[in-house]
Amino acid sequence: MIRRTFVLAALLAGCQAPEYPIAQMGGVSQVDLTAEVGRQVVVDRDSTQYLGHPSTLLLEDGKTILAVYPEGHGRGPIVYKRSTDGGRTWSDRLAVPASWTTSQEVPTLFRTVDADGVKRIIMILFMATP
């Protein structure tokens, strides 16, 4: 049985980054943090199900991150988790509407502000119809 893991690899806030060699590939600078396991955080793990294709959104407080992703390869019930410390730790799976169980595509989160200045978070999600 293959264990599938969704890992958020990020430079954590407040950590002093060592000097890394920067590779140029096609004019794009790249830094490889593969060996920096201390900078990787496991967001979710399921030994029987692929977890991947996350959409994340950093809120205005600069610390809260929302993550949604399908419980499956590109489709399946949507999982929702939250970090309030910049991604260092993550909540358990949070309750979601029943309609999120019929996802046929990877969800995408967006922050929006309407003409009246009302701020909202929207999620684009394609669902199967009953």
Q: What are phi and psi of 59, to 5 degrees?
A: -80, 170
- Whether 105 maps to a domain, the answer reads yes
130 domain residue, yes or no: no
Number of domains into which the chain is organized: 1
pLDDT in tens, 79-102: 999 999 999 999 999 999 998 988
8 A C-beta contact, residue 118 and residue 130: no
Would you say residue 129 lies in a domain? no
Sorted by sequence, the CB contacts under 8 Å of residue 61 that are 6+ apart come out as: none
Spatial neighbors of 28 by CB under 8 A, at least 6 apart, are: none
Q: How far apart are the first and last CA of the chain?
A: 33
Inside any domain, residue 98? yes
Q: For residue 6, what pLDDT band results from cuts at 50, 70 and 90?
A: very low
28: pLDDT confidence band, cut at 50, 70 and 90? Answer: confident
Tell whether 27 is covered by a domain. Answer: yes
Residue 65: helix, strand or coil by DSSP? strand
Give me the domain span that covers residue 58.
4-124
pLDDT cut 90: percent of the chain above it? 45
DSSP strand E in 20-130: where? 23-25, 28-30, 40-46, 55-58, 65-70, 78-83, 108-113, 119-124
pLDDT of residue 112: 93
Evaluate whether residue 59 is within a structural domain.
Answer: yes
Residue 13 lies in a domain: yes
Cα–Cα distance for residue pair 19/29, rounded to 1 Å: 14
E strand or H helix at 7: strand 4-9
Q: Distance (Å, rounded) from C-alpha 40 to C-alpha 44?
A: 12
65 found inside a domain:
yes
pLDDT at 24 over 90: no
pTM of the model: 0.73
Give the pLDDT mean for 48-57. 90
